[in-house]
Amino acid sequence: MINSIKNQFKQQLELLQDKKYKKPAFEAYNMKRAFVTLDQAFEYVGDNSKYQQRITLLLCIQFLFYSFFVMGMPYLLQNPSKYCTDGICIEYPNCNNRIDSLIGFDSIAKEFGLFCNGRKAFIAALFFVGQMFGGFTFPILANIFGRRKILLFGMSLGSISILVGSLCHNLLSLYALFFIAGFGLSGYETVVYVYITEISALRFRSIASSLLIVIWSSSMLIYPFIVDILQSWRLLMMWSIGVPLLITVVLDYFYFVESPRWLISKQQYDECRRVFRFMSIFNKRRPFEFNFMEELDKFNSRCVKVASMKKVETQIKLTQQSNQNAGYWELFKRSKLLIQTLILVQMWFLRYFTYYGLQFSVSTFGISMTTTLRMLALVELMTGMSSLYFKLKYPRIVSLQFCLLTMILSATLSYIDIPSECQGSLCWQQILHLLSAILIKASITIYNSMLNTYTGEAYVTTVRSYGYGVCMTFGQLGSTFAPLYVSYVQEIYQQASAITIVGLLALIALGLTWFLQETYKKDMYDNLTDEVMATQTLPLINQDMQFDEIELQQLSR
């Protein structure tokens, strides 16, 4: 009788305690004796719940200020509006003659005289070269030290470089700081895409990556107003970029947790459980206490003793060997990964070259730079929001092919010659060029969002950061060439833009997409051996082994 009353009281107490928790996706009688996959663990703690929303908010704030620097570079480097010699002012510089004074926005090009011989394109190219090296280096560090630490390091390095650069009065030092800023921010961006892929399940990945695109594009609607207020490149770099980014690093330190998928790939199961427990409590679920499927072999080794055998190859042993040997070379020594990586490298090059080539060509469309930037930003904002619909409804490869086909058709409009009498006025040829730029901006925005998600899903956890690193490195090669190519073409053809070559690059990428495998609504693998075991029936123990004795032992708790 007393025991019955105690049990009823215990049940009532548990019901009262349960009221402060939300109902999870599933429940277990005893979590400590249950095994779940990582996807099930994400479902239990809540996919796209309060914690994931907090992470998304912080990343969106960081991407906003980060995009102020990258997308606002045309403002930081813009040429003076007039060049004066002996009291006579003209709109275009005569670099062979003396220039007494300059009129226009207080930019880097104006202060350091970088408006002749493509010198301002050099400082932009240095930033993108730094991004190229950062995209290659940071994945190695992220795979060794973890996603969270390297993410914080990259943003700290980039924000401090920008802050110091705003106080710099030496051109060579400014060159170095632009390179370091590109190195740190590219590393941050690379690890962020890996992080949002690994921190939750499918829905969060789709929403988070699309929101980052939307925030990135919205910066060009906001930044012109900030430029009108501050009116100096030093104030812009300090107060609209450097200081805010440094503050967000502090917030990231307190709220960001390590990637559970990375912890599992390193066999840090207890730490991974603590991460999920923190996420579950933050999302108001009962504290996470499940075991992971990857731990089955460890528990089996306590229960079953296999005596007198030749060799035993278990899945966990194969996984450990795979994780210990994983590196950039894994992308090239396996034929499937090699083909996939080579195709994605070309697609990422197209992404960055088209995006930044269009950005640095805004002066060729017959209307003011600010108006063009705002128009393209509005287009990017609207298509960025629509990219989520494409992610949730359509396969990745089909969406990418649709965007590439749109770019090919749109680029043909840019081959129409603009007559000399159109200079200084808007004619129908320039309207077609502007329409071409708008269509390419819309398609490249959706293409960016889909390519980010596809790349994260195409690689397993142990090489995901390396895959992103290679793609980001060659992608930044496209951003490095973009300002140089635009500057070269404009010096020769005056009003020509970079989008004339986009059609050819998109045509090549469209043909290569037929060799990629679809990842839409498919499981993500954490180890190279997982993918093999998902397609083949491999015995955990070789079938030709002979056992002398199998002794069952009680599981010790």
Q: What is the pLDDT of residue 172?
A: 92
Using CA atoms, how far residue 220 sits from 216, 319, 366, 369, in Å, is 8, 46, 19, 11
Mean pLDDT of 209-232: 85
End-to-end CA distance of the chain: 31
Biggest alpha carbon–alpha carbon distance for the chain: 107
Six-digit token string for 225: 């107003």
- Closest listed residue to residue 341, CA positions, set 326, 331, 353: 331
For the segment 124-139, what is each residue's pLDDT rounded down to a tens digit?
Answer: 888 888 988 888 899 8
- Closest listed residue to residue 452, CA positions, set 187, 195, 248: 195
Orientation angle between helical segments 147-165 and 243-255, nearest 10 degrees: 160
User: Which pLDDT band holds residue 547 (cuts at 50, 70, 90)?
Assistant: very low
User: Which pLDDT band holds residue 35 (cuts at 50, 70, 90)?
Assistant: confident
Q: What is the pTM of this model?
A: 0.75
- Closest listed residue to residue 70, CA positions, set 173, 185, 164, 152: 185
The structure tokens 């770099």 sit at: 237
For the segment 484-506, what is each residue's pLDDT rounded down to a tens digit?
Answer: 777 776 665 555 555 678 888 99
Mean pLDDT of 155-179: 94
Q: What is the pLDDT of residue 183?
A: 94
Question: Minimum mean pLDDT among 1-10, 76-85, 282-291: which range?
Answer: 1-10
Separation of CA 269 from chain center: 26
Q: Which ranges constitute the DSSP H helices of 266-329?
A: 269-282, 296-303, 315-325
Q: What is the pLDDT of residue 307?
A: 38
Per-residue burial over 296-329, b if 16 or more Cβ lie within 10 Å, else e, is: eeeeeeeeeeeeeeeeeeebbebbbebbeebebe
For residue 83, the surrounding DSSP H or E stretch is strand 82-85
Question: Minimum mean pLDDT among 41-45, 92-96, 438-442: which range?
Answer: 92-96
